[in-house]
Chain A
Amino acid sequence: MRRWLLIAVPYLWLVVFFLVPFFIVFKISLSDIATAIPPYTPTFDITDIGGFLSQLDFENYAFIAQDSLYVNAYFSALKIAAISTLITLLVAYPIAYGMARAPKEWQPTLVMLVILPFWTSFLIRVYAWIGILKKEGLLNMFLMNLGVISEPLTIMNTSTAVYIGIVYSYLPFMILPLYASLEKINPALLEAAADLGSPPWKAFWQVTFPLSLPGVLAGCFLVFIPATGEFVIPDLLGGSETLMIGKTLWGEFFANRDWPVSSAVAVVLLLVLVVPIVLFQRNQEKQREAAR
């Protein structure tokens, strides 16, 4: 009985806060837009289940499949997410490596510094980048005062700004799993590699990197999955040419007030992300098994 209760709690949580909302969104995606409150039809009617079901259809899905705007937005989002994940990995790896090699008494402080940005709202931090990246912003002022450039750079409202924003925002999600896997590596392994004739740069690719792979994968998924659906960063920092599905969804929902289509966009986005999510879960599972 107690065991059953223990299992029931997380399941209940999932049902109430994930499954039920998902089915509501899924149901809306099968409805039609209407000038009403709520802005779709049909609404759920317990007295006429048959009539209610007969009004549901996959029209909205057909619509987003045919309109290249949506298809492009999905692909663009995946591309931007993939590239920024790669950049984040390249930036985060040396940081995590340095942290793992730092003196033991320093490491908790360094981890704290990585988490520190979370103490400020995500939205405010992204807003702050406008002040840095805009034409008369801090970055341009700094570079012009140094004499590196004579004309201010146009970074704001371009995809470059979006990449900077995503890499900056998701960096801790990459650093932490990388650090966790690098920190676990027995330093004697590198000594053994050196002892057997492998210079440090070779030993890195033969020993350190393969052993940090679980961290690399975990970090990549933790960045890639939310970055694909990201809308705040492209909305605030990106220009009109930066197409991302999160932003499209936001526009569909709040500007167009087309709840059924935006719900369909959301459901498809979820389906797109199911693949990396499953892969991520598998990676975590494998790691847990290896730890045993």
Chain B
Amino acid sequence: MSGAPAQSMSTSAAPGAGRATARTPAPLTGFAPWKDPSKRPIVRFENVVKRFGDFVAVKDCTLDIYEREFFALLGPSGCGKTTLLRMLAGFEKPTSGRILVAGQDITELAPYERPVNMMFQSYALFPHMTVEQNIGFGLKQEGMPKDQIGQRVEEAMSMLELTRFGKRKPHQLSGGQQQRVALARAIAKKPRIVLLDEPLGALDKRLRQTAQFELMGIQERTGTTFIIVTHDQEEAMTVSSRIAVMDHGEFVQIATPGDIYEAPNSRYVANFIGDVNLLEGKVVKVSDGFAEIDWGGGLARFKAVAPEGCASDQTVWLALRPEKIHIDFDKPTDASNAVAGKVVDVGYLGSISHYHVELANGQRVKALRTNSSRLVDRPISWEDKVWLEWPPETGIVVTR
């Protein structure tokens, strides 16, 4: 204990360089305007607050979204993500703060004056109009000549494979077709920004996956900025360039899907995205960017990359993805983190197997193994004594 302050000093002294290399880098896409200080955002939320009576839906949100981004607002229902989107569309007015599009303050503009188009969760297709009329509605408001409207509608319909349905009314279409009409209507005006409010929520799972890729394809082809609101983490991970994870009207983390998954900044984010083991422990000492953590119950201390501002005696959580844990019968040699346990549950999914392993302190850890070989001499089964091992850089220590 006496050495604790000195240890924490050494953390702050140690530059983040060691940490950065220790972390698994996010998959690089080459597209990262948010890292380029010369780029100006197309959408900027500036200290935006929205109150409904006593309820604070959005708490002081500041966010920059860049051109051609596919930006996801992700969170459970009631986290304020839809309110944020509706404020950008103009259906709600911020209680305070400003919203800028391409540098222009649009906070006071009416919805019909804004350069954004929205795809509604309920699709909101006009039931008394045909598919063509629905898609051409926005163009008609601009006062575009009829033949040009026809051309643009044709273009949008062929992009979404709706050409055959042009003369139908919305109620004569399937859910998937209606969803495509709603999208076609939102992109027909070629707006700078397309807003998508749970666009695929009404589709079944299989259709949703195809629709996600279609959405990405359209976004790429049109080169438009898409902002999607969703509560489905898989959907957000699949489609977006960056994700803002929200909780109770605040951003918890704004990062690329890779960073969100591999470097969550809190238990909330780690839990919300994918499967995770959260192991609680106390920091014993910090050195060379690594923290030694005691998780009680007489188990061996484990080593993990120390987050910034991590000090001795602090309660922390190790977020460890199941697929990053190596599970085996034999005790690994010279592993920095190894712990023994008993298999209590096995889930065989074909391509992969899940294992629930109970440790000596009663804690349960999920591990995952790909079934790469077809036949195994002795598969891991119930009641087996196994060893879990993971390199120190695979887990992420979070302090909140």
Contact = CB atoms under 8 A, between A and B. Distances in A.
B141 interface: yes
A189 B189 contact: no
Contact of B112 (A199, A210, A211): A199
A206 B137 CA distance: 10
A195 B118 contact: yes
A195 B193 CA distance: 12
A195 B122 contact: no
Interface string A185-207: 01011011111111100100011
B185 interface: yes
A196 B191 CA distance: 10
A189 B112 contact: no
Contact of B185 (A186, A191, A196, A211): A196
Interface in A199-235: 199, 202, 206-207, 210-211
Contacts of B137: 193, 196, 198, 206
Interface residues of B, number: 24
A188 B122 contact: yes
Interface string B114-134: 101110101011111000000
Nearest to A190: B124
Contacts of A211: 127-128
Given A188-B120, A191-B120, A197 B126 contact: no
Contact of A196 (B91, B110, B189): B189
Most chain-B CB neighbours within 10 Å: which of A192, A195, A206?
Answer: A195
A197 B110 CA distance: 9
Contacts of B307: none
A186 B122 contact: yes
B199 interface: no
Contacts of B111: 191, 194-195
B112 A192 contact: no
Contacts of A197: 112, 138, 141-142, 189
A207 B126 contact: yes
Contact of A189 (B118, B124, B141): B124
Contacts of B124: 186, 188-189, 191-192
A231 B65 CA distance: 70
Given A193-B137, A207-B126, A199 B120 contact: no
Contacts of B142: 197
Nearest to A199: B112
Given A186-B122, A188-B122, A202-B141, A195 B117 contact: yes
Interface string B76-106: 0000000000000111000000000000000
A189 B125 CA distance: 7
Contacts of B189: 196-197
A213 to B, nearest CB: 8
Contacts of A202: 141
A194 B112 contact: yes
Say whether chain B's binding surface is mostly helix, strand, loop, or mixed: loop
A210 B117 contact: no
A196 B139 CA distance: 8
Contacts of B122: 186, 188
Contacts of A188: 120, 122, 124
A206 B136 CA distance: 13
Nearest to A213: B128
B117 A194 contact: no
Contacts of B112: 194-199
A206 B125 CA distance: 13
B78 to A, nearest CB: 19
B120 A198 contact: no
A192 B110 contact: no
Nearest to A187: B124
Nearest to B86: A191
Contacts of A192: 118, 120, 124-126, 185
B72 to A, nearest CB: 20
B126 A198 contact: no
Contacts of B117: 195-196
Contact of B110 (A189, A199, A206, A210): A199
Nearest to B118: A195
A196 B138 contact: yes
Contacts of A207: 126
A195 B89 contact: yes
A196 B141 contact: yes
B86 to A, nearest CB: 9
Interface string B124-162: 111110000000011001100000000000000000000
Contacts of B120: 188, 191-192
Contacts of A199: 110, 112
Contacts of B125: 192
B197 to A, nearest CB: 10
Interface string A165-203: 000000000000000000000101101111111110010
Contacts of A198: 112, 137, 141
A182 to B, nearest CB: 14
Most chain-B CB neighbours within 10 Å: which of A191, A202, A210?
Answer: A191
A186 B171 CA distance: 14
B89 A210 contact: no
Interface string B8-47: 0000000000000000000000000000000000000000
Most chain-A CB neighbours within 10 Å: which of B89, B126, B171?
Answer: B126
A70 B67 CA distance: 76
Nearest to B136: A196
A97 to B, nearest CB: 18
Given A191-B89, A199-B112, 16 more contacts: A188-B124, A189-B124, A189-B127, A191-B124, A192-B126, A192-B185, A193-B126, A194-B110, A194-B111, A194-B112, A195-B112, A195-B114, A196-B189, A197-B138, A198-B112, A211-B127
12 contacts: A188-B122, A188-B124, A191-B118, A193-B126, A194-B91, A195-B90, A196-B137, A197-B112, A197-B138, A198-B141, A199-B112, A207-B126
Interface of B: 89-91, 110-112, 114, 116-118, 120, 122, 124-128, 137-138, 141-142, 171, 185, 189
Q: Sort A-B residue pairs by CB-CB distance and give the 3 closest, nearest first.
A: A196-B138, A197-B141, A192-B124
